[in-house]
Amino acid sequence: MFLLDVVLGLLMGKKKSTFSPEAIVDQLFIGLKKILQSLIILLICSVLLCILLGYLIDRTLNLLDNQNLHLSNSIILLIVLIVVDLALIFWSLQKINEKPQTHQKEETRVKTSGSPIESAVAALIFDFVKERESKRVEEVREKL
């Protein structure tokens, strides 16, 4: 309902548009790109974490079966790889949660003109809206 109110307000001329649709689309794509990159990193790191934990458990159980449980080089390597993998997961999660940066490119962007058909349709709509507003103003004056 709020969106409908905003759209109708813009069409009726109550509010002036202070944003450009291209800037909104650019921001959406930047956010979507950042989220997708982080999700791909999270997926790969999660699979790698499961594999490393499986190897660690397997190696530990093999040493336990041989009654020779000690901190071997393979177990140390697996633990280091698991810690690195967890660090990547936490980094990726922080990358998702960080605030977006404002881009100077949008402020310096020169507006390009649309197609002639878009301009003509926009002019027709603008004339219709202005005509409706003038009729409403006349009706209000007549009632007073």
Percent over 70 (pLDDT), the chain: 75
pLDDT at site 60: 92
pLDDT digits (tens, 9 = 90+) for 30-71: 888 888 888 899 999 999 999 999 999 999 999 999 988 888
In this prediction the pTM is 0.51
pLDDT band at 107 (very low <50, low <70, confident <90, very high): very low
pLDDT at site 92: 86
Q: What is the dihedral of CA 59, 65, 69, 75, to 10 degrees?
A: 0
CA distances from 46 to 33, 112, 119 (A): 20, 45, 51
**Which tokens sit at 15?**
């509010």
The answer to whether the CB of 37 falls within 8 A of the CB of 93 is: no
